[in-house]
Structure 1
Amino acid sequence: MSANPQWDIRRALRVARLFHLVCGVREACVTPFLTLYLRHLGLAAPWVGILMGSKLLVAACWGPFCAFLAKSCQKRRVFLVGSLLGSAGASLLMVLVPPLNTDVLHRPCNGSSSMTTTVRPPGVTLTVTVTAARDPASIHPAGLPSLPARRRPEGLEASDFTAGPGESDQETLEGLHLESSLEGARTTPLLLQPFTSWESASQVVDTALLLPREAVLGGPANVSEAKGEAGSLELSSEGLQWTFLLALGFIVFWELLAAPLEQVASDSLYEYLDFVDATDRYRSLGLWRLLGMAAGVCGIAAFVGRLDCFLMTNGTRGVVCFYGYSLVSTLSLLVSVTFPVPTYQQQEPGYKTTKALSLLGGDPRLLLLALTVLLIGIVTSTVQNFLFWHMEDHGSSELVMGFSVALSLLGEILLYPFKTVLLRKLSRVGAVGLGLGCLAGQLLYYSFLWSWWSVFPVQILSAISSGVLWWAVEASVEDLATPGTERPLSAMFRGHFHWGGCSLGSFVGGFLVIRFSLAVLYRTCCVVLLLWLAVFLSIQPRLPQERKINYSKLLAVEGSDTSDSEPGSERDWLVKAMREEPSN
């Protein structure tokens, strides 16, 4: 333990582990379920993609700038405390975003869901048959909520109704049958309870077309394939405009406050440990963040079903995620007060963006690696944004989704002790190729999900497609970087290229989902990854390899020139020592 309490390394590492653990729980409370919450608000895939793309774009540009500003002004602790406190309050603004449909809950709190609705996939012909009633029927049947008056959909004309003679608006309808057929395929009838008027019938038909899930046509409903999903491609509805603009403003404001935290804390801790030559302990701290995320994603998923009804009985499912995020941010605020922050003034800026960019432009191997990371970000955004949609369409609950994420994180944690061995046996290029191949296999598997549990077997591949792949990328960056540019270049790959790729993938992916389907999108991404893997493995060996100077041999030669009388076993002691040292 250091004599100076300012450099108490053991205490600093304990606080840093706790901080990473709590921040992992904090991030897992909302980040995996944010797109699912936006879907429950009634927003379609293109608008969710725009919202997530804007969020990631702010993180890619604003986070590094705030880290540089905090270091230049020596206000790192102020940025840490302000980011945690501001993001805790800004996250609660998302609870105020009004859903598009406030009258029909997606999942009733009482657990009853007697009314079954149907989404109309492309090519479905909707035929409504109305039969007149002779006996009076109940006005409001049990289990059927009253629906607001709503304009009849454009695709549903008056000729679609076939009524018996002598029928009027005041007559009681005994039954309403919705028959859906896929261009001559088998017919699946949907029988609803009696209604009282034409207006009630049109309301139910409208609701059946607008609700995004809950029922199926012979199987799980794939909302991404439904043309009648709530939230069309045109912002023509006033409610849709209001919901989208509020969500966009709140998400951007929230990310502006939350983005500086990770980069500022990382730079602060690294410089603190670097001052006492203890940076070898810095790398293992990331495991505590993964452990916190695994615990947080399971914990918040378990609370969603139990506490949502108590917090907001008539609102959108998932608000407990934002309350949990705010609570854990407050706990992180208490830890950030003792987080290790260096108090000395650096002689030169730590984030050398200009120098890293010049190095990137002059090295074709770094440029190829940057394009690979950009493509990885584009592809992984489709998983982060829409995988839970795909799982929900097949009956998965939030708890199942949380367990699937935790399984992938735990696999990466268990594989970490073998990091050095894997990178030595596979080489940097081989590890990147293996990670790309496993990611392509995951995407192909996701496109063929058939039940709520079918996602679990493939999640173990995330230890390779996420863990090993990024270990190889970071090791390659360190090998190719010049002295002093390792951390700036690594931050550029993590921040600008990866998050920038995720932002681009979010913007484009939402429109591809609504145009085709999630299954087609995942298969397309799989093919693109396999093609890039072939290009990467074919180009990498042909790139010019720089011959590095062997300083140990140079010292041995200089030693032999100055003292020829020394025995050979003593002159090359440095060469032997470096050969015996384990390679990282």
Structure 2
Amino acid sequence: MESSERLVRIFGREYPREALVSRLFYLCFFASYGSLFPLLGIYFKQLGMNASQAGFLLGSRPLVEFASSPFWGSFADRFRKGKLLLMFSLASFIIFTLAIGFVQPLTPFCIMKPLNSTSECLYLEQAGQIIHGGALGYLKEATGIGRKKRQTPQLIDTIIDLSSYEREEDMVPGLAPEVITRDKVCNYEEAIYGVLITPPHSTRVYRKPAVEQVFLLLLLLTILGEFFSSPGLALADSVTLTYVSDEPKKFGQIRLLGSMGWGLAMFIMGIGLDYSETFRNHPCPTKNTTEKNYTLCFVTCSLFMLAAMFVATQFRFGSEQRPDEVGCAVIDTRIDEIAPAVAEKARTRQLQLEHSEGSLWLATIKALLRGHAAVYLLALTTIGFGAGIIFGFLFWHLQDFGGSPILFGVASVINHGSEIAAYFFCFQFINKFGHIKIMYFCLIANIFRFLIISLLTNPWMVLPLQAIQGITLATCWASASSYISLIAPPQLKSTAQTLCMLLFHGIGKGFGSIVGGFIITSVGTRMTFQIYSVIALIVLTLNIVTNRLFKHDGVKYSQNFEEDEIAGTLISAPQGIPMHHGEGKLTDAFNQTSVTNANYGAIGPDPTQQAYDRYVSAPYD
């Protein structure tokens, strides 16, 4: 391949130039995401939003991404301006991200406790009785120039964070913001001040209508920003797949730098936020608060994406795939790591394609959303749903127990470190236990992980659970994407892969944040995590029962090969029949099924077919 001849020497080692460019791009691109997006939930919380509003802002992103994918695929296919579209996408990300950072509700009031008062009464005070006007304001204050104001109490000593006055036994983790009432603030009158709210871990007091207006504006910016920036990663993946077309397994190794960039950027941001308590012209300044200045995150995110944009100028575009088809190609890059026995076992459950003249989507839904495939996809969606809840609200929950940004950074490093480790070993697990049992293990891990998180009072105890999360998500996706590819009718393989991605990354993660946010608003994070554990337990039970008791999907099963059986030897296919592999090509290793013998759903007509038929049972009625 021509690209392999262009080498770059670094520290005595030579690397293909194109692969190095892709590695640097993924490092910067995902570092940009990692420096901000895991913290957006608690940033919205600090703006006075409740969990349902924050969840809607977070969960809308994957939904918009999937909804816009066909449009950008057609656009790229028609105009063939891949690099220009990539630059536009990355620039849009920077512009809309910075815009989101500038949108904040006004802070009209602070809550004050009189210095020398023995009363437990708290009072509302007009915000902003501090130095205004930037450097000029400080100069006037220092020199005494300007209009003299009457002496007022030193607000820096008397302004309080209302959440710090809440009794521990009265706290419901995850419920935010707190509504100001006369029981808590003595001079509050709703008729005069309107409905006021204050976020936990902050001294600011907002008007509720102002927060709702900011939410709507942020939602608009989020939807537009995600729409215009969504083709960026798919285009980069498309170019990288072209670079490694002779050795597609290298694609995953190149993408690993993205996980490293995400984790390390989040770790650095955690340390930085612990020292970011200084605000320029804060309206309610005090030293006794855990409020953080997230401007650092927005700036760092934009700088990393600017670096990714610079690196992307070195991409060489040619005959790449459409952005909306890249996801399926990414799944195919590791399919030949499935052991022949495990792949053959999955193919014995391959679903029949009923005659349908409708759309491919309708045919795929009819084929997959029934029997064992339906409950398997339900389990996959449940895992994605849990990932959406954790992404949006784990730090939201831990913050109420004293979790600091540096804890969040360490947790992110552990999560992505375990994800990287799982990349190297996940297919060994799949080959050892099979696709069905792997899904069982992932559901069991989620049941116990969410249950334990709900019971924690020491936020640092979440770190071991983050290692489990990284392994669970990476292994679950590797197993599900390969299994669905194997059991789907061959003509519908690409559509089935897209459906798999939609259920896990789109509906699962998107609605996980949205629905999880609504539940948290009502009952708090602790109860929400427990509810998810119960749901995962129900889905696990449904999968086990379906796979053990119901074996009738128009598919013939081997009499000697039970559904929950570990796939014996990994050297040969079931019943000792070898599986044909091509010369390392994905199409030969993957597309081995044929519709000619759809009743069996096994390997198409070949010299071994008659031998295989002797070991296949009659179809179940």
TM-score (norm 2): 0.66
Shift of residue 393, structure 1, vs aligned partner: 0.5
The amino acid of 2:236's aligned partner reads A
Residue 237 to residue 554, structure 1, CA distance change in 2 (3 Å): closer
Q: Which residue of 1 is the match for residue 499 of structure 2?
A: 492
| Residue among 197, 205, 222 paired with 1:251 | 222
Asked if residue 293 in structure 1 is aligned to residue 269 in structure 2, the reply is: no
Alignment of 1:2-21 (within 5 A): 2=2, 10-21=16-27
Q: In structure 2, what is the Cα distance between the partners aligned to 1:182 and 1:308?
A: 28
Q: Which residue of 1 is the match for residue 364 of structure 2?
A: 359
Q: Which residue of 1 is the match for residue 81 of structure 2?
A: 75
Q: In structure 1, what is the Cα distance between the partners aligned to 2:384 and 2:189?
A: 42
Residue 529 to residue 180, structure 1, CA distance change in 2 (3 Å): closer
| Residue among 350, 364, 382 paired with 1:375 | 382
Asked if residue 341 in structure 1 is aligned to residue 341 in structure 2, the reply is: no
Shift of residue 49, structure 1, vs aligned partner: 2.1
The amino acid of 1:43's aligned partner reads M
Q: Deviations over 1:31-84 (max 9, x none)?
A: 100111100111111221222233332122113532343234322222211111
| Residue among 227, 231, 236 paired with 1:265 | 236
Asked if residue 302 in structure 1 is aligned to residue 271 in structure 2, the reply is: yes
Q: In structure 2, what is the Cα distance between the partners aligned to 1:85 and 1:42?
A: 29
Q: Which residue of 1 is the match for residue 345 of structure 2?
A: none
Q: In structure 1, what is the Cα distance between the partners aligned to 2:475 and 2:317?
A: 30
Q: Which residue of 2 is the match for residue 326 of structure 1?
A: 302
Q: In structure 2, what is the Cα distance between the partners aligned to 1:263 and 1:179?
A: 47
Indicate conservation of the 8 Å contact 2:450/2:529, yes or no: yes
Deviates more, 1:311-320 or 1:357-366: 311-320
Q: In structure 1, what is the Cα distance between the partners aligned to 2:56 and 2:414?
A: 29
Residue 451 to residue 80, structure 1, CA distance change in 2 (3 Å): same
Alignment of 1:152-171 (within 5 A): none
2:275 match: secondary structure: helix
Alignment of 1:133-532 (within 5 A): 140=153, 143-144=156-157, 201-202=186-187, 210-214=197-201, 237-274=208-245, 277-307=246-276, 309=278, 317-343=293-319, 354-355=359-360, 357-363=362-368, 364=370, 365-483=372-490, 486-495=493-502, 497-532=504-539
The amino acid of 1:249's aligned partner reads L
Q: Which residue of 1 is the match for residue 339 of structure 2?
A: none
1:554 match: secondary structure: coil
Shift of residue 19, structure 1, vs aligned partner: 1.6
Shift of residue 461, structure 1, vs aligned partner: 0.9
Indicate conservation of the 8 Å contact 1:437/1:533, yes or no: yes
Indicate conservation of the 8 Å contact 2:82/2:235, yes or no: yes
Coordinate RMSD, CA, aligned:
4.2
Indicate conservation of the 8 Å contact 2:61/2:222, yes or no: yes
The amino acid of 1:428's aligned partner reads H
Q: In structure 1, what is the Cα distance between the partners aligned to 2:189 and 2:159?
A: 10
Asked if residue 94 in structure 1 is aligned to residue 97 in structure 2, the reply is: no
Residue 344 to residue 43, structure 1, CA distance change in 2 (3 Å): closer
Q: In structure 2, what is the Cα distance between the partners aligned to 1:312 and 1:493?
A: 49
Shift of residue 204, structure 1, vs aligned partner: 12
Q: In structure 1, what is the Cα distance between the partners aligned to 2:380 and 2:449?
A: 17
Residue 343 to residue 539, structure 1, CA distance change in 2 (3 Å): same
Q: In structure 2, what is the Cα distance between the partners aligned to 1:425 and 1:81?
A: 43
Residue 441 to residue 382, structure 1, CA distance change in 2 (3 Å): same
Indicate conservation of the 8 Å contact 1:55/1:252, yes or no: yes
Equivalent residue pairs, number: 471
Indicate conservation of the 8 Å contact 1:40/1:317, yes or no: no
1:202 match: secondary structure: coil
Deviates more, 1:394-403 or 1:240-249: 240-249
Q: Which residue of 2 is the match for residue 555 of structure 1?
A: 607
TM-score (norm 1): 0.70
Q: In structure 1, what is the Cα distance between the partners aligned to 2:401 and 2:438?
A: 33
Indicate conservation of the 8 Å contact 1:308/1:318, yes or no: no
Indicate conservation of the 8 Å contact 1:16/1:340, yes or no: no
Q: Which residue of 1 is the match for residue 584 of structure 2?
A: none
Alignment of 1:19-98 (within 5 A): 19-98=25-104
Q: Deviations over 1:464-508 (max 9, x none)?
A: 321211111122122124557545533432245532233223332
Q: In structure 2, what is the Cα distance between the partners aligned to 1:389 and 1:430?
A: 32
Shift of residue 103, structure 1, vs aligned partner: 5.1
Q: Deviations over 1:156-203 (max 9, x none)?
A: xxxxxxxxxxxxxxxxxxxxxx997989xxxxxxxxxxxxxxx99526
Q: In structure 1, what is the Cα distance between the partners aligned to 2:23 and 2:467?
A: 25
Indicate conservation of the 8 Å contact 1:210/1:230, yes or no: yes
Indicate conservation of the 8 Å contact 2:279/2:293, yes or no: no
Residue 65 to residue 351, structure 1, CA distance change in 2 (3 Å): farther
Residue 351 to residue 476, structure 1, CA distance change in 2 (3 Å): closer
Q: In structure 1, what is the Cα distance between the partners aligned to 2:436 and 2:379?
A: 12
The amino acid of 2:421's aligned partner reads L
Q: In structure 2, what is the Cα distance between the partners aligned to 1:252 and 1:278?
A: 37
The amino acid of 2:153's aligned partner reads H
2:462 match: secondary structure: coil
Residue 402 to residue 287, structure 1, CA distance change in 2 (3 Å): same
Q: Which residue of 2 is the match for residue 225 of structure 1?
A: none
Indicate conservation of the 8 Å contact 2:22/2:254, yes or no: yes
Q: In structure 1, what is the Cα distance between the partners aligned to 2:168 and 2:607?
A: 82
Q: In structure 2, what is the Cα distance between the partners aligned to 1:115 and 1:338?
A: 61
Residue 317 to residue 181, structure 1, CA distance change in 2 (3 Å): closer
2:481 match: secondary structure: helix
Shift of residue 87, structure 1, vs aligned partner: 0.7
Q: In structure 2, what is the Cα distance between the partners aligned to 1:250 and 1:94?
A: 7
Q: Which runs of 5+ in 1 are unaligned?
A: 106-112, 117-125, 131-137, 148-177, 184-198, 216-228, 561-584
Q: Which residue of 2 is the match for residue 151 of structure 1?
A: none
Identity of aligned residues (%): 20
1:401 match: secondary structure: helix
Q: Which runs of 5+ in 2 are unaligned?
A: 9-14, 124-150, 171-183, 284-290, 329-357, 557-599, 612-621
Q: In structure 2, what is the Cα distance between the partners aligned to 1:465 and 1:297?
A: 20
Deviates more, 1:281-290 or 1:295-304: 281-290
Deviates more, 1:354-363 or 1:53-62: 354-363
